[in-house]
Structure 1
Amino acid sequence: MRKNIAIKWVPSALTVGVAIGLVVTGCSQAGPGSPKAGETSGKNEQKAEAKRGKLSVSIYDQGQIPAEEGTPQKNRWATWVNEKGPVDVSYVPVARRESTQIFNTMFASGTAPDLVIEYDDIYRNSLYTQKQLMPLDDVIDKYSTEYKKLMQEYPMLKKLGTKPDGKIYEIGRVQKMVTNHVMFIRTDWLKKLNLEIPKTTDDFYKVAKAFAEQDPDGNGKKDTFGTSLSFMSGENIREMFGDVGWVVKDGQLVRDWERIKEHTAFRKKLYDEGLVDKDFLADKNGAKTEKDWVNGKLGIFGIQNGVKSTGYKVFEAFKKNNPEASIIPIELPKSPFGQFSPYLEPAVRMVAAVNAKAKDPEAVMKYIDFMITPSTMNTIKYGIEGTHSKKGPDGCYVPMDDEKYKKEVVWNQYFQGFFPSVREGDCGSFEKSLDPNKPINKEFISFVPIAEKAYLSKERPIPDVTSKFYWPSVPQDISTVETTLSDAISELMIKAVVSGSSYSVEQAIQEAKTNWEKGGGKKVEEWYQKWYADNKNTALFTKDLYEK
């Protein structure tokens, strides 16, 4: 759960048995750029005979597309989809870190795209409660072949996509459970300062202090930071303390105040002692923190998709600037509340929904079907066979020219929003796209099993009651109250962190509790407690994520 914000729940019919029933299929490696006859992508003459619909699709924009490759609206892969696919597609760029604000503006003005690809489950649920989404049961039944088959193969897609009114509103993807957030540490700095990898939060503080004060880069200046409080590095610290808003205590789901207090006190200590950059509030998307890491000025760094494409890109830049440096992923240190793992991606999650005002739902479904066929998946993910990639000895696609591959293929990850990568088996893993004979690739590939061992263990579960993707749908009135109060609580905790002796953590907690009671928090607590009491034997909880 993201810090104390409104939560999205799955329907009460969701059972553990369904989740455990997921079966990972073997590699499906149809050749990139060469669809088989009969697939949705079809041949040009087949497409010409059918009515060609059109739709608009949102696509995340993080400035990842090289200038020479075009824009989110027009680039080689947008062109390829329009040429090879069954419908005309216009892509609508949405800034990744401002997506909910942008979508709100679009829906308010009537310009929202037909297919909304948005990974924020809480936001998608708000669209459902506002009746902005189209029910998809009849659309899937009437127009789909590929996604319909996928739902039959993985029933969890239907369970998670179904809202409280009993209808399907969301499109999901299927993969193996994988890591996402990763905490890296400079092991060369540890060695230089004769320190061990931190095992507890106290150890973490001591290591961060040494990294900030004992000149680990050896330049004779006090210009390094132990860690950061912004973006993913800050998220790692929150996850370390298990500060997730709601916890099970004495058999009930209750609002937590102990973990948030300790988490805030820890952040305040790091801030007051100058072990982190005090301008962290201005670094909302983590760009400054990433720059400090890449430039060799940060000792402990949290990153999203740490052992996948995002992590690799940052690692390349890091090694270019720090060729002799060494890093590894580490377990989150143990806090007074236990040892946890950071956010991970479960096997099934919802990622998209259809605008209730979409004029051509048949085109939307044809697009989804086309995008999840094996030939389309492989072409977009690996490029054109014989130009960008070829099959390696293990049957998985590998780049033919790394520079060409980076320039023309790697950046298109947001075209892959609902790819069922589970169908690729091991070939779907990012590290399989790297040439292990190159030293930098070999080093990065070595991080993957370390991260998986650290974070995919039931001995160190995520701190949330369940995955954020599996929380139930909260009624709009409850969600509004909780969001308002939780945002206010977060502001009070930030105030305590940055205010020195003029505003203590204890003051912040007391004020937060008072505001919670006065603002209707009791009503929110009662709703969660009743939901938990009614569903604790049937809903999918954190422990179930680790069952084979």
Structure 2
Amino acid sequence: MKPTSKGRFLFVFMLAAAMMLSACTGGGNEADGSKGSSSEKGNASGNKKVSISMFDRGQVSSDEGTYEENRWVKWIREQSGIDVKMVPVPRNEAQSTLNVMIASNQAPDLIWEFDRTYIGRLVSQGVVQPIDEYIEQYSTSYKKYLEENPELKAHLTFDDGKMYAVATKRPITAVANHGMWIRQDWLDEIGMEKPKTLDELIQVAQAFKEHYPDSTPIVGPTTADIYAGLNAAMSTQWYLEDGQMKYGATLDRFRDAIALEKQLFDLGLVDKEYFTDSNNQRANQLWTTDKAGIWMFQWGSGQVDLMMKDLLTNVPDAEPVPLESVETVNGKHGLYQEAIPHIYVAFNKDMKDPETAVKYLDWIVDQGWFTLMNGEEGVHYTKSGDTVKRMDTDKYNKEVLYANEYAVLKQMEVKPEDLIEQAADDELSQRLATLSAEALETALKNEFRRDIPYQPNFDEINEIRSTLDTFIRETRATTVTQGEKYTADWAIEEIRKEWTRLGGPEAEKIAQQWYEDNKANF
């Protein structure tokens, strides 16, 4: 008998959960010794309580405190009137960490992710609960927001027709995701133009290697996804091929992405150790110390600004500029861009006080997000009309940037030129903002191929992915690093065989039926 996804989930994570529990006292909530979800109807002082997950990106300096306790958490509690408990999870291990918390009854009341598929798995496993009635009964601000943005509803509704998450629309600064950067000064030195095709990109990288022999021409933590995006074959995304739903990892185009990855490795144009550079420190160091000519990362963000600042501080004459998508044998496609919803916030089924959770989210979407994104007026920014202008970039990065993690719902509308207007007036901040604005326009110039607005959620593919994703990573690593014996053709055949072994053909039938049933709503 085939195990249910819930059974599979518990089986996979109970050992890890047991290890976590052994480190806790009393087997209950780490902060207060209670068991299960940490929310209660009220505490001794009469305050409402709610707990919420958030991503730990390592951005809180020691003198600011921790992600759990700092000036902004204190401010949130004071302004919202709710005793909020922040539950950090490492960004690069967020889902696995949350899974352990869920299996051990340690999960917070509100669980969020950028990944709709992950929330869908929690729906299938019975971890989170429908929220339609809560929004209708308790909400004012978010209910109004959803009425004004009805296109969000389909993304928040799952297979049983009920809503399981809240989300706000992404500003274009969050729609744009992946990007490429290139050293214009290096191009000028070797007398070459920005590459427009894949062949030209490789030629430029080879010229960089010849002219700067100590360099690693191409670095960055998103290289594999960028290769896939250029070929319109993201390994975890479904595509419509002649009206038929096909999984990206099984397509010929994904083979082409692996072939590109292997070619660049064999030519010595990428870091030989990038498969083990799990925290991206090596890639970032190569870029910021004048040892790399092409950086595959994001179009921009606080972290990108920090990396660019480090580069320009170390190499004042450096001229990093955004690089547009290049054309491949599969056409010209934009790099990865996000879907309309920003962050999916779901409600733990064990939550004791959904009313307080809704009130907290209403406060965030109505007013709390603005301060968490911008800081304190007169200290971190000045305002003229609707324009918010940063006063000191370094001060903002240290004292406010990490608070962005708490703004899980926000009503932001951003134009590229706003980035320049909002930046501090010093020369470096203006230069970085100008680069970010140009990079944003570049990242959005070519449309990312997204055949369906959101990915289907069903147990069969969720179970397959738990094994297939790891298999793909291992197969890519073998193909890329282990010499000519392992080709991209070998890799795609191995992936297809594993896909079939795991039940992929049946998943395709289910995905096709899902598409036929839902396409009228797209």
Q: Give the TM-score of the pair, scaled to structure 2.
A: 0.85
| 1:84 is aligned to 2:100 | no
Report what 2:128 is aligned to: 133
Residue 429 of structure 1, CA deviation: 5.2
Report what 1:472 is aligned to: 456
Distance across 1 between alignment mates of 2:417 and 2:516: 39
**8 Å CA contact retained: 2:417, 2:437:** no
Distance across 2 between alignment mates of 1:368 and 1:79: 17
The 1:272–1:165 alpha-carbon spacing in structure 2 relative to 1, beyond 3 Å, is same
How is 1:403-422 mapped onto 2 (pairs within 5 angstroms)? Answer: 403-422=394-413
**8 Å CA contact retained: 1:133, 1:354:** yes
How far does the alpha carbon of each residue in 1:123-172 deviate from its partner, in whole angstroms, 9 at most, with x for none? 11111100110211111122111111111111123322111112111010
Residue 99 of structure 1, CA deviation: 0.3
Report what 2:508 is aligned to: 525
Distance across 1 between alignment mates of 2:390 and 2:311: 22
How is 1:323-472 mapped onto 2 (pairs within 5 angstroms)? Answer: 323-374=316-367, 376-392=368-384, 394-422=385-413, 426=415, 430-435=419-424, 437-457=425-445, 460-466=446-452, 470-472=454-456
Residue 272 of structure 1, CA deviation: 1.4
Report what 2:302 is aligned to: 309
| 1:143 is aligned to 2:138 | yes
Report what 1:495 is aligned to: 478
**8 Å CA contact retained: 1:351, 1:418:** no
Residue 258 of structure 1, CA deviation: 1.2
Secondary structure at 2:307's aligned position in 1? helix
Long gaps (5+) in structure 1: 1-5, 7-46, 216-221, 541-548
How far does the alpha carbon of each residue in 1:324-343 deviate from its partner, in whole angstroms, 9 at most, with x for none? 01011111111110111112
The 1:491–1:514 alpha-carbon spacing in structure 2 relative to 1, beyond 3 Å, is same
Residue 433 of structure 1, CA deviation: 2.8
**8 Å CA contact retained: 1:134, 1:355:** yes
Report the AA paired with residue 484 of structure 1.
Answer: T
The 1:451–1:387 alpha-carbon spacing in structure 2 relative to 1, beyond 3 Å, is closer
| 1:281 is aligned to 2:275 | yes
Residue 485 of structure 1, CA deviation: 3.2
How is 1:133-282 mapped onto 2 (pairs within 5 angstroms)? Answer: 133-177=128-172, 178-215=175-212, 222-228=213-219, 231-245=221-235, 246-255=238-247, 256-282=250-276
Residue 350 of structure 1, CA deviation: 4.2
Report the AA paired with residue 368 of structure 1.
Answer: L
**8 Å CA contact retained: 2:134, 2:354:** yes
Q: Which region of structure 1 is more displaced relative to structure 2, 255-264 or 79-88?
A: 255-264
Secondary structure at 2:167's aligned position in 1? strand
Distance across 1 between alignment mates of 2:242 and 2:380: 56
Q: Which of 97, 102, 109 lines up with 1:107 in the alignment?
A: 102
Report what 1:485 is aligned to: 468
Report the AA paired with residue 210 of structure 1.
Answer: A
Distance across 2 between alignment mates of 1:516 and 1:162: 28
**8 Å CA contact retained: 1:236, 1:302:** yes
**8 Å CA contact retained: 1:139, 1:365:** yes
Report the AA paired with residue 217 of structure 2.
Answer: G
How far does the alpha carbon of each residue in 1:347-372 deviate from its partner, in whole angstroms, 9 at most, with x for none? 43442111110111111111111112
Distance across 1 between alignment mates of 2:376 and 2:431: 27
The 1:433–1:323 alpha-carbon spacing in structure 2 relative to 1, beyond 3 Å, is same
The 1:118–1:514 alpha-carbon spacing in structure 2 relative to 1, beyond 3 Å, is closer
Secondary structure at 1:501's aligned position in 2? coil
Secondary structure at 1:345's aligned position in 2? coil
Secondary structure at 1:99's aligned position in 2? helix
Distance across 2 between alignment mates of 1:518 and 1:399: 55
**8 Å CA contact retained: 1:53, 1:362:** no
How far does the alpha carbon of each residue in 1:235-267 deviate from its partner, in whole angstroms, 9 at most, with x for none? 222211222244333232234431122111111
Distance across 2 between alignment mates of 1:502 and 1:527: 36
Secondary structure at 1:56's aligned position in 2? strand
**8 Å CA contact retained: 2:460, 2:507:** no
Report what 1:512 is aligned to: 495
Report what 1:66 is aligned to: 61
Distance across 1 between alignment mates of 2:455 and 2:495: 24
**8 Å CA contact retained: 1:157, 1:348:** yes
Report the AA paired with residue 232 of structure 2.
Answer: G
Residue 428 of structure 1, CA deviation: 11
Distance across 2 between alignment mates of 1:449 and 1:338: 26
Residue 107 of structure 1, CA deviation: 0.2
**8 Å CA contact retained: 1:421, 1:428:** no
**8 Å CA contact retained: 1:267, 1:497:** yes
Distance across 1 between alignment mates of 2:408 and 2:420: 19
**8 Å CA contact retained: 1:156, 1:348:** no
Residue 346 of structure 1, CA deviation: 4.0
Secondary structure at 2:74's aligned position in 1? helix
Long gaps (5+) in structure 2: 6-41
**8 Å CA contact retained: 1:307, 1:444:** no
**8 Å CA contact retained: 1:187, 1:326:** yes
**8 Å CA contact retained: 2:383, 2:389:** yes
Distance across 2 between alignment mates of 1:484 and 1:352: 26
The 1:247–1:477 alpha-carbon spacing in structure 2 relative to 1, beyond 3 Å, is closer
Secondary structure at 1:74's aligned position in 2? coil
Give the alignment's Cα RMSD to 1 decimal: 2.4
The 1:399–1:120 alpha-carbon spacing in structure 2 relative to 1, beyond 3 Å, is same
Report what 1:297 is aligned to: 291
**8 Å CA contact retained: 1:52, 1:87:** yes
Secondary structure at 1:338's aligned position in 2? coil
Distance across 2 between alignment mates of 1:88 and 1:71: 17
**8 Å CA contact retained: 2:222, 2:297:** yes
Distance across 1 between alignment mates of 2:101 and 2:417: 34
Distance across 2 between alignment mates of 1:427 and 1:301: 21
The 1:477–1:234 alpha-carbon spacing in structure 2 relative to 1, beyond 3 Å, is closer
Distance across 1 between alignment mates of 2:490 and 2:223: 26
Report what 2:17 is aligned to: none
Distance across 2 between alignment mates of 1:427 and 1:378: 19
The 1:160–1:141 alpha-carbon spacing in structure 2 relative to 1, beyond 3 Å, is same
Runs of 4+ aligned structure 1 residues displaced above 6 Å come to: none
Distance across 1 between alignment mates of 2:117 and 2:190: 44
Residue 312 of structure 1, CA deviation: 1.4
Distance across 2 between alignment mates of 1:266 and 1:70: 44
**8 Å CA contact retained: 2:112, 2:343:** no
Distance across 2 between alignment mates of 1:476 and 1:176: 31
**8 Å CA contact retained: 1:234, 1:302:** no
The 1:362–1:269 alpha-carbon spacing in structure 2 relative to 1, beyond 3 Å, is same
